[in-house]
C-alpha cells in the first residue's frame, strides 16, 4: 500500500474551521487506498498563545522534513505546509484555500505584514506541485474542488426544528455584529420561536457579547463556544437556518454542512458561495453591503415556505458527496506516485 502524507496544521481531533472538516471528511476514503500519515503540530502547541501557529508549523516541518520525504505522495491544504513540501522530491498535490492569500483573513494585526511572504509560498507551490486545486473560484490551470461532506447526522423533521445559527470564527470579516443587529430587529413572534445560536471562538467574542447585552438580547442569543465537528453538525441539524454575512470567503464548510442537513442558508455574495446558494431556492444570496430590511425579508420568506427551502437545500448538497470527491482526488494522487 502506498504511503500518503497529509500535511495539516492540526490533528483530526482538534482541527476546527474549514480546513479541519475538509480533511477529516476525506479521511475514511483515503485510508482505504493508502497508508496515511497525518503530519501536524503536536496538540500541546495549540496552548501557546505568543507564537503564531502558522510560524510554529513552518519551523516544525522544516525540522521534521524527513517525515515528508518518507512518503510516496503528499497532500497539503495549508500554504506553509505546501511550501516546505515543495523542497522535497516527493510529488505534492496542494489544495488552496478559497482566499488566494491565507493572511487576507488574518485575525491578528500583524497578519498584513506576512501577505507578501505567503504570496511567495503560493508562487513556489504553483510552480512545484504536480497538481493544484482551489476551494474557491477556479484559478488559471487550477480546478475547483468542492468541500467534501461525510457524516451520519440524521436529517431532522422540519416541524421540530427551531432557531437560527452561525458557525465559524468570531472575527471582523464575518460581520457577526450585523447578524446580531438583524436578529434584534425581527418580530417578537419570530424571536420567541427562534433563538440565535453562535458557534465558534475568536477575537471578537467579547465585543459581540457586549453588543448582545446592549441590545437587550441576552435571553434570545446564546454563544456556544468551540464545538467538535460532530457536535456542531448535530446542533445545526436542529435549527431552521444558517445565517452568515461575511465580507470575504471562499466557500465556507459551514454552508456545505448546513445544506447537507437540509438547512437553508442566508449568506452574502462573496467568494464562490453563489455556485451553491441560489436565492428563493435553498436560501438567499445578498450583497455584501446588504440592507438590514432585505436580510429580514429573506428570513421571513424562508419561514413562510420552509418545507420547500429545506427540501431544496438537501437536494443541492449532492455536489458535496465526499466519496465522489475523494474518488477523483485519489485518481490524481495515484497518477503521480
Q: Do 12 and 142 belong together in one domain?
A: yes
CA distance 302 to 267: 13
302 and 202 within one domain: yes
> Exposed, middle or buried: residue 257 (CB in 10 Å: 0-12, 13-18, 19+)?
buried
Q: Residues 295, 307: one domain?
A: yes
* Residue 72 covered by a domain: yes
- The answer on 195 and 107 residing in a single domain is no
Q: How many domains does the chain have?
A: 2
Mean pLDDT by 10 residues, the chain (337 residues): 89 59 89 94 72 84 95 93 96 81 51 71 92 83 89 95 96 96 98 97 95 98 91 96 93 93 97 94 98 98 98 96 94 87
Exposed / middle / buried, residue 66 (Cβ in 10 Å: 0-12, 13-18, 19+):
exposed
Q: Is residue 77 part of a domain?
A: yes
User: Do 163 and 221 sit in the same domain of this protein?
Assistant: yes
Q: What's the domain range around 119?
A: 3-148+321-335
Residues 15 and 135 in one domain: yes
Residue 222: give its domain's CATH number. Answer: 3.40.50.2000
Q: Which of 159, 180, 148, 178 is nearest to 256 (CA)?
A: 148
In a domain, 96, yes or no: yes
> What is residue 282's DSSP assignment?
T
Q: For residue 263, tell me if it sits in a domain.
A: yes
pLDDT of residue 105: 54
Same-domain pairing of 97 and 180 = no
221 shares a domain with 75: no
pLDDT at residue 168, as a whole number: 92
- 72 and 164 share a domain? no
Does the residue 211 lie in any domain? yes
- For residue 153, is it within any domain? no
What radius of gyration, in Å, describes the C-alpha atoms of the chain?
A: 20
- On the CB side of 326, CA atoms within 13 Å amount to 19
Tell me which residue of 82, 72, 76 sits closest to 120, measured CA to CA: 82
pLDDT, position 41:
84
What is the model's pTM? 0.83
- Please tell me the predicted confidence (pLDDT) of residue 103: 47
- Give residue 46's pLDDT: 66
Amino acid at each position: 500500500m502506498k504511503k500518503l502524507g497529509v500535511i495539516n496544521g492540526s490533528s483530526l481531533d482538534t482541527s476546527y474551521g474549514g480546513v479541519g472538516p475538509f480533511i477529516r471528511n476525506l479521511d475514511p476514503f483515503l485510508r482505504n487506498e493508502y497508508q496515511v500519515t497525518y503530519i501536524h503540530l503536536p496538540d500541546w502547541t495549540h496552548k501557546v498563545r505568543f507564537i503564531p501557529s502558522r510560524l510554529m508549523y513552518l519551523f516544525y516541518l522544516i525540522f521534521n522534513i524527513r517525515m515528508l520525504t518518507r512518503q510516496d505522495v503528499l497532500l497539503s491544504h495549508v500554504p506553509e505546509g505546501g511550501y516546505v513540501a515543495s523542497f522535497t522530491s516527493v510529488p505534492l498535490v496542494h489544495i488552496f484555500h478559497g482566499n488566494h492569500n491565507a493572511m487576507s483573513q488574518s485575525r491578528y494585526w500583524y497578519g498584513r505584514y506576512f501577505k507578501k511572504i505567503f504570496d511567495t509560498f503560493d508562487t513556489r507551490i504553483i510552480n512545484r506541485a504536480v497538481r493544484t486545486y482551489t476551494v474557491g473560484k477556479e484559478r488559471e490551470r487550477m480546478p475547483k474542488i468542492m468541500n467534501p461532506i461525510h457524516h451520519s447526522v440524521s436529517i431532522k423533521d422540519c416541524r421540530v426544528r427551531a432557531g437560527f445559527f452561525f458557525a465559524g470564527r468570531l472575527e471582523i470579516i464575518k460581520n457577526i455584529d450585523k447578524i446580531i443587529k438583524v436578529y434584534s430587529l425581527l418580530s417578537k413572534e419570530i424571536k420567541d420561536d427562534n433563538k440565535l445560536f453562535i458557534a465558534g471562538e475568536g477575537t471578537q467574542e467579547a465585543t459581540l457579547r457586549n453588543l448582545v447585552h446592549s441590545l437587550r438580547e441576552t435571553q434570545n442569543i446564546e454563544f456556544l463556544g468551540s464545538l467538535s465537528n460532530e457536535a456542531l453538525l448535530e446542533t445545526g441539524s436542529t435549527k431552521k437556518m444558517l445565517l452568515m454575512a461575511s465580507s470575504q470567503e471562499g466557500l465556507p464548510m459551514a454552508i456545505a454542512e448546513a445544506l447537507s442537513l437540509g438547512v437553508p442558508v442566508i449568506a452574502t455574495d462573496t467568494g464562490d458561495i453563489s455556485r451553491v446558494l441560489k436565492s428563493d431556492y435553498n436560501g438567499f444570496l445578498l450583497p455584501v453591503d446588504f440592507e438590514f430590511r432585505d436580510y429580514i425579508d429573506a428570513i421571513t420568506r424562508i419561514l413562510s415556505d420552509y418545507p420547500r427551502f429545506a427540501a431544496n437545500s438537501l437536494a443541492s448538497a449532492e455536489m458535496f458527496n465526499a466519496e465522489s470527491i475523494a474518488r477523483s482526488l485519489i485518481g490524481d494522487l495515484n497518477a503521480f506516485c
